Structure 1
Amino acid sequence: MEYNCETSDDATQTIKRCFACKVCKKPFLSNSDLIRHGRTHSGEKPYGCEICGAKFAIASNLRTHMQTHTGDRPFPCEVCGSRFSRRGILKSHVKTHTGEQPFSCSICGSKFSENSNLRKHMRTHSGERPFRCVTCGATFTVKANLKTHLRTHTGEKPFGCNTCGSKFSDKSTLRKHIQIHSGDRPFRCQICGSAFSRRDYLKTHMVTHTGEKQHECEMCGARFSQNSSLTQHVRIHIGEKPHPCPVCDSRFIQKSNLKKHMKVHARELFEMSCTASNMTMQTLPLHT
């Protein structure tokens, strides 16, 4: 479907032909742009990685993905030396040095370095959670969180530590883990002097001084200082238990509760092995 789109500049006003999406009516100046956009509705991903099988809707995303295999990072940060696979990622990174946060929330005043982060933040006010897990029904404000959540069902841990070999389901947890080895804590609290490895850790810590609880449960009104605490609390209302026991059918809201539960099975197995060796609970302390 073709439409006439009006475009103008300082000198003249011109009329260009454009193409509109039949699903959402969004206009595009070229048919190729319309085709690429259409894949966001159809889910078509015609470009596949020959190494790992990942698929993408546009060729440029495949090229960027290939750099995860080749390790190519041609864009260096002039401040800290970090290197990035895309210029846009470098541009976002530089703002961590400058502190620039030009995008602010009109409701609560929170500021962000990227407009995309502001859009995600606005969902905390609107309650919009457009990304749903087909396995358990859990919903998320951003697609990346859904993708990470799905790994709690599959058990996939694609991110490995080069130092100790530990594996993680998401890249952010790996980054936190790596700082255990490096010991780097560049973010310091100006009130008490505590130092942290990440800016968001410092931000979370500051709540202990301010007492601020800006994350509110829409179901019961309970307030929390951290969004992660709110997420765990909401699971009580919706009944979500994303951490299953691999031994029995038990499921848990928090991973820490699953770890405690696993000790029950560990002791059961220990007692069974001792029973097989004709040992009793009274003799267990002597068992070496």
Structure 2
Amino acid sequence: MPALPLRPPSRPASRRPVVARAFAQAACITALALAGGASSGADINDPTRGDVVLFPVPFETLRPATAGKPALEGWNMPGRNFRAGDGWWGLVCGTATNCRLVALRLAITPAKHDVYETDPVPSQWLVWSPLPAVGELHAVFKPVRSLAGLPLAAGPVKTWLQRGMAGPYPDAGRIATMEVAITVAPGTTALLVPRLRPAIKRDAGSGQPEALVLELRAGQQRQLLEDFENDSPEALSPVDPKAYLVWAGDLDGDGKLDLLLDTGSCSRKLTLWLSSRAKGPEMVGLAGSFEYFDPARSEC
């Protein structure tokens, strides 16, 4: 299906889906706290999935700056899911394609996290160090399980595009399609194409609603990657290429395209797609994801 320009919302987005999500997550976290066993139910609140544990940036301010002490930044994450230690990496970029990997260590402090209209629950302060003094940190991650042997090293990482570079991303020359063109080699270009997926109706009211999805194209190949988060039942909003494409480069060292994507809206969302995880006709496979809605909030 060709990419289509999107109409702006005709009325303010409804907040009801967001409030419902907040209540559902709050109930889930509260149930875990009442059970008294973070280890047995820890995965309930773990926002990470896959064999790359992934966190987006910017971080939260956990403790404001005071005289003689800088602000402490990281994530305050409900539950007891994570362990301190080495093996973490940060993706740091300048204002062009000069990106690099830096080795990080995770420190953890037990804490509490507020929950909307109920009592705070046990949480962890996650703080990574040493944070880079130069450049913009795009994500922190740790390969685990089947990807624990991913060949990573501190230093430059092949990058074609990243959101911190000056100016807009290259496009495919089609107006109002919100596409991104990624030239991975002379004469070889991959496209990221936001497009409308029509609603599918089945018997008994089942099916799937109309959605804005992100598709990867290269030559005759097509691969549907993921849906854009949309909390408005009335209309689909346009998307900014520099919002959804965080980074495009070669992280796993096979010379092929890897992607770091953000298709969230109200929730914090980040996904890492690696060419080395592709199966069959796929160009990339999902290596890790992060999706989290702050339970202290009731709406966007």
- Larger relative strand fraction: 2
- Larger relative helix fraction: 1
Higher relative contact order (CA 8 A, sep 6+): 2
Q: TM-score range by the shorter chain?
A: under 0.3
- The structure whose Rg is larger is 1
Q: TM-score, normalised by structure 1?
A: 0.19
Q: TM-score, normalised by structure 2?
A: 0.18
